[in-house]
Amino acid sequence: AQRVTQPEKLLSVFKGAPVELKCNYSYSGSPELFWYVQYSRQRLQLLLRHISRESIKGFTADLNKGETSFHLKKPFAQEEDSAMYYCALSGFDYGQNFVFGPGTRLSVLP
Amino acid sequence: KAGVTQTPRYLIKTRGQQVTLSCSPISGHRSVSWYQQTPGQGLQFLFEYFSETQRNKGNFPGRFSGRQFSNSRSEMNVSTLELGDSALYLCASSLASGSHNEQFFGPGTRLTVL
């Protein structure tokens, strides 16, 4: 069965500090991994996906199939990064059937 | 382009009643997915519709159903409401089915079952 875990419910860091949001998954096939973000009073939106290997707002994430992880990283956190972050998985065979992790609330302190 | 819209935004029902939620996708998008979000279970996939056909279904009882119209608008119906159905119901649209198509989420409908 597909499953996504995010071990931290809340992560607090100071502005300018590095940040890493952890995501682990279980899936028997070839997964596609995503990070979604929800800023306060805004809609859930796509932050990045592993297949495009891009950096958005300074965030990067590398898919590690050996460790079944897709951790989100940013070298220098900004206050505007404070938000709820969700890791999500989709199998290529599953259309838009996404499995979301429970989410991590990132709080960047001044 | 206008974003995904959902109506109503808030709804209060009592146990045993039924409810219909509506989702209008972004113009040109043909795939609509529905999710239930609760504090306890997080975001859970309900179903996806593409070209008026249900393409995927999550692990929810048959009380949860949906449909999609020829203009891609979608409705979700929950019959015989239970207290546990209280949740935020999110709709997302994408150009086509397939996980490589970015999903755009609506603001959600907050359903409260008393």
Q: What is the pLDDT of residue A94?
A: 54
B9 interface with A at CB cutoff 8 Å? no
Q: Does B10 touch chain A (CB under 8 A)?
A: no
**ω into A102 cis (within 30 of 0):** no
Across the range A79-88, mean pLDDT stands at 96
pLDDT beneath 70: ranges in chain B? 1, 99
Q: A52 — alpha (psi -120 to 50), left (phi > 0) or beta?
A: alpha
Tell me, yes or no, if B16 comes closer than 8 A to chain A by beta carbon: no
Over range A79-97, report the average pLDDT. Answer: 82
Distance CA A38, CA A85 (A): 6
The pLDDT, as a whole number, for residue A27 is: 84
CA of A89: how far to CAs of A28, A104, B27, B30, in Å? Answer: 12, 16, 26, 21
Instruction: Look at A46 and B102 and tell me if their CB atoms are within 8 Å.
Output: yes
Cβ contact, residue pair A103, B44, below 8 Å:
no
Query: Is the predicted pLDDT of residue A90 greater than 90, yes or no?
Result: no
Q: Is residue A79 very low, low, confident or very high in pLDDT (cuts 50, 70, 90)?
A: very high
Residue range B1-32, pLDDT digits in tens: 689 999 999 999 999 999 999 999 999 999 99
pLDDT band at A95 (very low <50, low <70, confident <90, very high): low
Q: Rounded to whole angstroms, how far apart are CA atoms A47 and A38? A: 9
d(CA B86, CA B95): 29
pLDDT (tens digit per residue) in A12-42: 999 999 999 999 999 877 788 999 999 999 9
Are A109 and A15 in contact by the 8 Å Cβ rule? The answer is yes
Cβ–Cβ pairs < 8 A, chains A and B: 60
Whether pLDDT at A92 is above 70: no
Rounded Cα gap, residues B53 and B49, in angstroms: 5
The nearest CA of chain B is from the CA of A33 a distance in Å of 9
At A93 the pLDDT is: 58
pLDDT score for B100: 72
B104 touches chain A (CB under 8 A): yes
Using a CB-CB cut-off of 8 Å, the residues of chain A touching B48 are 95-97
Three-class DSSP labels, B62-96: CCEEEEECCCCCEEEEECCCCHHHCEEEEEEEECC
Report how far residue B26's alpha carbon sits from residue B36's, in angstroms, rounded to the nearest whole number.
20
Interface contact A43-B105, CB threshold 8 A: yes
**Per-residue confidence (pLDDT) for residue A80, from 0 to 100:** 96
Rounded mean pLDDT of chain A?
Answer: 90
Question: What is the pLDDT at residue A25?
Answer: 93
Mutation target for B interface from A27, A84, A96: give the one with most B CBs within 10 A.
A96
Q: How confident is the model at residue A3 (pLDDT cuts 50, 70, 90)?
A: confident
Model pLDDT, residue A39 = 95
